[in-house]
Amino acid sequence: MSWYRNTVWFVKGLREYTRGGYESASKHFNPADVEVDVAGRSFLVTGANSGIGKATAKEIARRGGTVHLVCRNKERAEVAKEEIVTETGNQNIILHIVDISNPKEIWKFAEKFQNEHNLNVLVNNAGCMVNNRELTEDGLEKNFATNTLGTYIMTTALLPLLEKAADARVITVSSGGMLVQKLNISDLQSGNGPFDGTMVYAQNKRQQVVLMEQWAKAHRNIHFSVMHPGWADTPAVRSSMPVFYERMKNSLRTEAQGADTVLWLAVSAEATKLPSGLFFQDRQPVPTHLPLAYTHSPPEDEEKLMQMLEEFSQKFKSVSPE
C-alpha cells in the first residue's frame, strides 16, 4: 500500500506540482487579490535569504510592508537584504540572524523581538532535508529540530504578539510529500530503523499540518494556514534532491511561482474569508489526505504531538534574570 500511495502522489505531482500545473491554475487567479498596499503591517519570514522565503519577502516589500528577514547565514542574508531593498525601494527590511535548528536561539530572539517590534504576519518558511541522520549541538535530529520543533517554538513564542495584532496570520510552508505520511509520534527524532531523509522530511511536513490545525482551534483571533508551493527550482531542492532536480529541472516552478500562494495567504483579504487551519495549493484549499490512503490519525495522537513538542520546547527556554 505504501508503494501505491507513493505512486499516486508522484503521478499527481507530475500534473499539478510542476510549472505547467501552476500556469494552469493561475488562469483562475484574481490579480487584484495581491495588488494591495500593506504599508504599516509587519511581516516576519524565516529562511528568507533564498528560494521561496526570499521571493515571498521581496513581494511583500514591493507592497510596502515592513519585512523581518530571519536567516541563519549572515553573509548570504545581507546579500539578500540588499537585493530586496534595491529591487523594491523599500527600506523597511530588517535582518535577524537566527538558526532555526537551535531552540535556545529562537527563544532568545523571540523574547527580544517582542520587546522591540510589532507583528501582523508570521511566515514559517525555513526548513531542511538532511539525508543522513545528524544531531544538532543539543542532541536533536536536525530535520526534526528545524522543520518541526523550530516551527513550533517560533510560532509559540510569537503568539502573544500576534494575539495583539489586527488581522494576524501565520503561514507555514509545508510540502505535498506529507500526503504519503501518517503522523508518527512514537519516533519524533527518527532514531529507530533505517534513516530515509526524504521520508523524515515528509513526516515533519505532516507534523506541520497538524500543528496548524491544532493552533487554529486554540487561537481564534489568528488565521492559520499551511501550504504546498509545488515543485520549485530552489537552492534547497538542488542541494537536497539532486537526482530529482536533474530529472525535473525543465518542469520546475520558478521561486516566485512557488511563493505565490504564500504571498496570497499573507496579504489578500480573500484568504481570511476561508476557515483557519486549511492546507492550500495554488490559492485553493486542498485535502490533507489522499483518497483511500491510511494517513488519518486519531485526535489523541495529534494532541499528544502538541504536548510532546511543548515539553521539548520548555527544556530550552531559559528564565531571564530579574
Cell numbers describing residue 75: 553573509
| Domain map (residue ranges) of the chain | 20-315
pLDDT at site 236? 65
Counting DSSP H helices and E strands in the chain, the numbers are 12, 8
Sorting pLDDT into bands at 50, 70 and 90, what band is 290?
confident
- Residue 72 half-sphere exposure toward CB, CA atoms < 13 A: 14
The model's pLDDT over 55-73, given as tens digits with 9 standing for 90+, comes to 999 999 999 999 999 999 9
Domain boundaries 20-315, CATH class: alpha beta
Joined grid coordinates for residue 260 = 505565490
Catalytic residues, which ones?
201
Task: Cell numbers for 191, please give them.
Answer: 532514531
Whether the pLDDT of residue 10 is over 60: the answer is no
pTM: 0.92
What's the confidence (pLDDT) of residue 22? 83
Q: CA angle, 319 as apex, 313 and 322 as ends, to 5°?
A: 160
| CB-CB contact of 170 with 215 (8 Å) | yes
Sign for the CA dihedral angle at 89, 91, 93, 96 comes to positive
CB-CB contact of 77 with 71 (8 Å):
yes
Tell me which residue of 171, 59, 104, 2 sits closest to 314, measured CA to CA.
104
Mean pLDDT of 299-312: 98
Q: What angle do CA 139, 141, 147 make, to 5 degrees?
A: 125
Q: What is the pLDDT of residues 202-212, one digit of tens each?
A: 999 999 999 99
Which cell goes with 194?
A: 533505517
In this predicted structure, what is the pLDDT of residue 49?
Answer: 95
Look at phi and psi of residue 167 and say left if phi exceeds 0, alpha if psi is from -120 to 50, else beta.
left
For residue 322, what pLDDT is reported? 39
Give the least confident one: 25-39, 251-265, 293-307: 251-265
Mean predicted confidence (pLDDT) in 116-140: 96
pLDDT value of position 233: 55
Whether pLDDT at 2 is above 60: no
Phi, psi for residue 306 in degrees, rounded to 5: -60, -40
E strands, 137-211, in order: 168-173
